[in-house]
Amino acid sequence: MTETTFDAGTLWLIILAAGVGTFALRLSFIALFGRLDDVPESVERGLRLVPAAVLSALVVPQFVFVDGAMSLSPTNARLLAGTLAVVVSWKTEDILATLVSGMAAMWLLSALLP
């Protein structure tokens, strides 16, 4: 482990400031929306996209990066299985069918591809 140039007091002060800043940022939105009688339509439209954006940001790197490098080739089993799962999800709108088809494709492709 490398040594830091901060003493313990400075490090705790930084951690405390980061925590207070994060709390203040979140509280400001709660207080703002608590004072509004109705959330503007444009804000509601934008907030509807947040779950899909967050899920994409968490999931997509697992499909396109292999060993730290981008891999969009047909030998990327995770990308192919994920693509199949997306298609099954889109067509059936069934979570169980999506999970089963994605995992089955992943197992099969992992056994077949080098």
Indicate the domain borders of the chain.
7-48, 50-114
CB 68 within 8 A of CB 80: no
CB 83 within 8 A of CB 59: no
Alpha helices in the chain (DSSP H): 8-35, 41-48, 50-64, 77-92, 95-112
pLDDT of 4: 62
pLDDT of 38: 79
Cα 44 to chain centroid, rounded: 21
**What average pLDDT values come out for the chain (114 residues) when binned by 10 residues?**
76 95 89 76 90 92 88 90 95 96 95 86
Quick check: pTM over 0.85? no
pLDDT of 2: 65
pLDDT of 107: 96
Alpha-carbon distance 6 to 89, whole Å?
Answer: 50
- The angle, 0 to 180 degrees and rounded to 10, between the axes of the packed helices 50-64 and 77-92 is 150
pLDDT of 58: 94
